[in-house]
A = this chain, B = another copy of it.
Amino acid sequence: MSDRYASFAHTGPGRALVKRLGLPDPPRLRRYRPGDPLIHGSVRLNAAPGGRLRESLAKLLGSAGVEISANTEGPAGVEGAAGVEGAERGAATAAGPVRHGALLYDATGITDSTGLRALFDFFHPLARALHPSGRVIVFGTPPESCTSPREATAQRALEGLTRSIGKEFGRGTTAQLVHVAPGAERAVESTLRFLLSGRSAYVSGQVVRITPADVPEVDWARPLAGRIALVTGAARGIGAKVAEVLAADGAQVVALDVPAAGDALAEVANGVGGTAVQLDLTAPDAPVRLAEHLADRHGRVDIVVHNAGITRDKTIGRMNPDWWDQVLEVNLSSQERINEVLLDRGLIPHGGRLIAVSSIAGIAGNRGQTNYATSKAGVIGLVHSMAPLLAERGITINAVAPGFIETRLTARIPLMFREAGRRLNSLAQGGLPVDVAQTIAWFASPGSTGITGNVVRVCGQSVLGA
């Protein structure tokens, strides 16, 4: 990682200087290594009265070997009131409060804004009770599935809470809201595991929506075993890391990039025991050639990661028309054509996964990136518009939207802007390609049947948005 400031801040003298000057203090993030437990320490779990999820969450945590700490077996909702006092005491003595790896709250029972107080009662005494890189997850009901405006209002309000907690807790804590539609209780496991683990190190402040779905048995150590995964733009950067992570999760990877990147591509493909395809995706016959290649070699493709993307930055008044066309073509139009051909030919089976790469620029827009932001906003439209159609075929489609990720490209950004991009997020640092790759692997998991039409930012809860 080329973040020299963070490296320095992690040294002894660096720590001292950071503290004395009140500089940003990027914590070391807990990242996944094979064999790691899902989370360090116990999990605190509670629910508002009437919650749908508490029992199934407890069961999932149990089967994942996660310890649920005491105090959660009392009558739901009672713990809070007593907990407040306990915490005030805890904070006062400050000696060594019990620390948890994660705080989980099932808020699905809240049907009215006055019931939101239960969340205060839960989090107030636990605000300093998390280990570094701890996890906050609030589970709610998607507002559109609520039965009254009052309930929908209270459930929507949870977003303000989790996003604020993400900005408050610090020390690598991430905070998310998971909206679980009624009937989707059993589809939560892949998301719970992802969010608790170090795989989601750089994902914070997000809202994930889970819809009812049949979830197959999953081998959580190698969830993608037996799956064919196409990764475009795989020769370097985020794409190379996606190939690596999907392969580590068991997938057989087809790594694709332009012929000019052939050597780097071959290295990636060999490194992950996969195959390489050299193809310019913008060529008119690319979709057909790709489809034929996949049909011939594998008979299908289970996972398609549309990672290939380019930037050609200039303000629109100074932009060459070719730069507009190239960016739109690579980042959006070619992706649409490829999806259509692969789907038309039935190459993406039931259980298939389409995964696109959007960007914070596609959400917020960006100066000097009208072309890029337009293409990446289009990717969001692609995900939203295709999801209901693909659901009929048992295929999901989702997107990641990376924020500031440390790559060859960001290393070229002038220092001041690079520093701003790195620090203006709740984790005070840039993300790594592996953070994007792990988020893609979560979408790709056979356990993620209930996740479709989601756009999840991998941005450390960047302040940038719209």
Contacts and interface: CB of A to CB of B under 8 A. Distances in A.
Contacts of A384: 143, 152, 156
A364 B333 CA distance: 31
Interface stretch (A25-33, A122-130, A300-308, A436-444): A122-130
Contacts of A376: 160
14 contacts: A117-B321, A124-B317, A149-B336, A160-B362, A160-B375, A160-B377, A161-B377, A163-B466, A164-B365, A164-B369, A165-B316, A168-B368, A463-B463, A465-B465
A159 interface: yes
Given A332-B157, A336-B113, A381-B155, A373 B463 contact: no
Given A116-B328, A166-B365, A463-B465, 19 more contacts: A117-B325, A123-B317, A124-B321, A127-B318, A128-B317, A148-B385, A149-B336, A153-B336, A153-B381, A153-B382, A153-B385, A155-B381, A156-B382, A157-B377, A159-B365, A160-B372, A163-B365, A163-B466, A168-B317
Contact of A317 (B91, B113, B363): B91
A456 to B, nearest CB: 12
A358 B381 CA distance: 26
A60 interface: no
A158 interface: yes
Contacts of A316: 120, 123-124, 127, 164-165, 168
A324 interface: yes
A333 to B, nearest CB: 5
A344 to B, nearest CB: 13
A390 to B, nearest CB: 9
A158 B336 CA distance: 17
Interface in A294-332: 315-319, 321, 324-325, 328-329, 332
A367 interface: yes
Contacts of A379: 153
Nearest to A333: B113
Contacts of A465: 363-364, 463-466
A378 B114 CA distance: 11
A102 interface: no
A464 B328 CA distance: 26
Contacts of A82: none
A321 B464 CA distance: 31
A115 to B, nearest CB: 10
B328 A378 contact: no
Contact of A378 (B156, B317, B368, B464): B156
Interface in A221-241: none
Interface string A356-398: 0000011111111111111111111110111001000000000
Contacts of A325: 117
A82 to B, nearest CB: 13
A304 to B, nearest CB: 15
A84 interface: yes
Nearest to A464: B463
A423 interface: no
Contacts of A155: 381
Nearest to A363: B465
Contact of A161 (B114, B373, B386): B373
A167 interface: yes
A365 B464 contact: no
Of residues A150, A162, A317, which shows the largest number of chain B Cβ atoms within 10 Å of its Cβ? Answer: A317
Contact of A364 (B154, B385, B386, B463): B463
A370 B158 contact: no
Contacts of A328: 113-114, 116-117
A385 B112 CA distance: 13
B120 A157 contact: no
Contact of A319 (B124, B156, B336, B369): B124
**7 A-B pairs with the lowest CB-CB distances in the bound complex, closest first:** A465-B465, A156-B381, A163-B365, A127-B317, A160-B377, A157-B378, A160-B373
Contacts of A192: none
Interface string A126-145: 01100000000000000100
A336 B373 contact: no
